[in-house]
């Protein structure tokens, strides 16, 4: 019988597998796809803090990010730049392969082409019902981590419910003309309630994508056509990839002998849809929680409550701030976005905030709310001048 079975070979699953194997546990990762790194609808932007904390090798890094240009619906722009590297664009496939190889080198067994269809929690184990290339079998483990992605049937059938506030992310690889930095485009005409992005990778290529609650693919095709007509990208028949993105965590991420992790748990930034760094942080918390539980031989939900308490202590305030900023933004029309850009430039709010020391690529929810407050305060002062 395994000590731990992990469902999902993404960054969070592989990180948890590595940490547990490092502590001497027998671990298997079950992945329905034929290899790690095949889920490619991800921009792959992660912070420099994430790169340093998890020792990500330079070989998987495509670009370093120090600046970005933000565009309003009318074309007004704000350029944000800092001297130090803020983030990196990684080759997502190579990144996932690296994390899986690191875990395998520590003794983790990867079972690819293996779908877990259901779990049965018993007194002393969890029985996983699996299907691999047509064959059906069961696997026993003392503990299970579900890192199998957003709103998968397995998470729902295991009693954790669904993420009810979510959106759709869409993305395509494009050929660009002299794109030197990340570009972010705002406006309901492009991405209703959200934003669109152009992220340079290498060899004149870039990732173009957006998020939207409805008709995401339709909006992306229209925007790609517009970019091509403006000469921003080369016209082509683009292959659009889709992905569901949770905007708020599950209400409960633990039960007897089972934890939920990463996108499956909703540990994702509501503003950007990024989940790699937060998911990997929670993977470490999950591994530490299981180690303590195994040591005390107490794998009941009461003992595993510490996993949820710890990850919420670390991330809940940030996720709440970002969620509030996200919901507030969805009530702003294009004219108001344009006015906000003008106000930000005239009041020099962006410069004053970015010149501060406590600017974090990953923890920006408070910064967004602070910016909105300062802009609103500036508007009130102008009224009474």
Secondary element (H or E) of residue 194: none
In contact, 174 and 233? CB cutoff 8 Å:
yes
| Cβ atoms within 10 Å of 138's Cβ, excluding its own | 10
Residue 377: count other Cβ atoms within 10 Å of its Cβ. 12
Q: Note the pLDDT of residue 133.
A: 87
Least confident of 2-11, 66-75, 86-95, 367-376: 367-376
* Polymer length in residues for the chain: 385
Which of 195, 218, 245 terminates a domain? The answer is 245
Same domain, 6 and 121: yes
- Cα separation, 307 vs 305, whole angstroms: 5
Same domain as 336, residue 319: no
Task: Give the pLDDT of residue 327.
Answer: 85
* Lowest mean pLDDT across 35-49, 122-136, 360-374: 360-374
Identify the three-state secondary structure at position 172. Answer: strand
Q: How many domains does the chain have?
A: 3
Same domain membership, residue 291 and residue 147: yes
Rounded to an integer, what distance in angstroms lies between the CA atom of residue 254 and that of residue 256?
Answer: 7
Domain boundary among 327, 357, 373: 327
Domain limit, last residue, from 197, 222, 245: 245
Do 158 and 268 reside in the same domain of the chain?
yes
Of the candidates 81, 114, 88, the residue with the CA atom closest to the CA atom of residue 8: 114
pLDDT tens-digit readout, 105-121: 999 999 999 999 999 99
**Does 86 fall in a domain?**
no
Same domain, 152 and 301: yes
Same domain, yes or no: 300 and 198: no
Q: Which of 34-43, 157-166, 196-205, 375-384 has the highest mean pLDDT?
A: 196-205
| pLDDT level of residue 383 (50, 70, 90 thresholds) | very low
Question: Going by C-beta distance under 8 Å and a sequence separation of 6 or more, which residues neighbour residue 115?
Answer: 30, 32, 130, 131, 132
- Indicate whether 79 belongs to any domain: no
pLDDT tens digits, 15-28: 999 999 999 999 99
| Residue 78 DSSP symbol | E
How far is residue 262's CA from residue 277's CA, in Å, rounded to a whole number? 9
Lowest average pLDDT, out of 116-125, 131-140, 356-365, goes to 356-365
pLDDT score at 302: 76
Q: Do 241 and 323 sit in the same domain of this protein?
A: no
Residue 85 lies in a domain: no
Residue range 128-147: average pLDDT? 95
**pLDDT tens-digit map of 293-306:** 887 766 677 778 99
Instruction: Answer yes or no: do 220 and 173 share one domain.
Output: yes
Higher pLDDT, 29 or 292: 29
C-alpha to C-alpha distance for 224 and 236, rounded to whole angstroms:
9
* Average pLDDT over all residues of the chain: 89
CATH of the domain at 171: 3.30.9.10
Handedness of CA 274, 278, 280, 282 (dihedral sign): negative
Q: Does 260 map to a domain?
A: yes
Check whether 351 has a pLDDT greater than 90: no
Specify the pLDDT at position 381: 47
pLDDT exceeds 50 at position 343: yes
CATH number, domain at 261? 3.50.50.60
pTM of the model: 0.91
Could you tell me if residue 27 is inside a domain? yes
Domain range for 184 is 166-245
Q: Concatenated DSSP letters for 344-361?
A: HHHHTHHHHHHTSS---S
- Note whether residue 123 is domain-resident: yes
Contact, 27 vs 20, CB < 8 A?
yes
Comparing CA positions, the residue from 211, 210, 205 lying closest to residue 234 is: 205
Residue 193 shares a structural domain with residue 236: yes
Beta carbons within 8 Å of 340's beta carbon, 6+ residues apart: 72, 332, 375
**Is the pLDDT confidence value at 356 over 70?**
no
Place of tokens 């305030």: 317
For residues 207 and 347, state if they share a domain: no
Examine the domain organization and report whether 114 and 154 are in the same domain: yes
Q: Do 210 and 338 reside in the same domain of the chain?
A: no
The secondary structure element, H or E, covering residue 40 is: none
In a domain, 202, yes or no: yes
Any long-range contacts for 289-295 (C-beta under 8 Å, 24+ apart)? 289/259, 290/4, 290/20, 290/25, 290/143, 290/145, 290/259, 291/20, 291/23, 291/25, 293/143, 294/3, 294/25, 294/142, 294/143
Handedness of CA 148, 153, 159, 161 (dihedral sign): positive
pLDDT of residue 299: 62
In a domain, 217, yes or no: yes
User: Where is average pLDDT lowest: 84-93, 166-175, 284-293, 326-335?
Assistant: 326-335
């Amino acid at each position: 019988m395994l000590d731990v079975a992990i469902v999902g070979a993404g960054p969070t699953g592989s990180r948890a597998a590595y940490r547990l194997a490092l502590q001497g546990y027998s671990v298997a990762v079950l992945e329905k796809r034929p290899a790690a790194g095949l889920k490619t609808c991800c921009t792959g932007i992660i912070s420099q803090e994430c790169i340093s904390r998890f020792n990500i090798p330079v070989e998987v890094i495509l670009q370093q990010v120090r600046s970005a240009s933000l565009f309003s619906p009318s074309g007004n722009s704000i350029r944000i730049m800092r001297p130090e590297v803020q983030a990196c664009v990684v080759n997502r496939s190579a990144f996932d392969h690296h994390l899986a190889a690191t875990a395998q080198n520590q003794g983790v067994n990867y079972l690819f082409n293996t779908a877990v269809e259901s779990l049965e929690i018993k007194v002393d184990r969890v029985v996983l019902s699996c299907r691999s290339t047509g064959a059906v079998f069961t696997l026993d483990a003392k503990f299970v981590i579900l890192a199998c992605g957003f709103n998968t049937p397995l998470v729902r059938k295991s009693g954790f419910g669904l993420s009810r506030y979510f959106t759709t992310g869409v993305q395509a690889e494009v050929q660009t003309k002299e794109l030197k930095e990340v570009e972010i485009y705002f406006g309901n005409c492009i991405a209703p309630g959200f934003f669109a992005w152009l992220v340079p990778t290498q060899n004149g290529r870039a990732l173009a994508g957006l998020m939207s609650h409805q008709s995401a693919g339709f909006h992306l095709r229209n925007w790609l056509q517009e970019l091509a007509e403006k000469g921003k990208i080369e016209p082509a028949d683009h292959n659009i990839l889709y992905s569901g993105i949770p905007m708020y965590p599950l209400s409960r991420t633990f039960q007897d002998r089972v934890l939920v992790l990463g996108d499956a748990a909703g540990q994702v930034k509501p503003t950007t849809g990024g989940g790699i760094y937060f998911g990997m942080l929670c993977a470490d918390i999950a591994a530490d929680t299981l180690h303590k539980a195994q040591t005390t031989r107490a794998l009941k939900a009461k003992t595993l409550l510490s996993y949820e308490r710890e990850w919420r202590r670390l991330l809940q305030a940030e996720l709440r701030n970002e969620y509030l900023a996200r919901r507030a933004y969805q009530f702003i029309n294009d004219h108001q976005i344009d006015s906000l850009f003008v106000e930000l430039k005239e009041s020099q709010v962006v410069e004053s905030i970015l010149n501060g020391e406590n600017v974090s690529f990953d923890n920006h929810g408070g910064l967004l709310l602070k910016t909105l407050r300062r802009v609103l305060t500036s508007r009130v002062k102008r009224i009474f001048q």
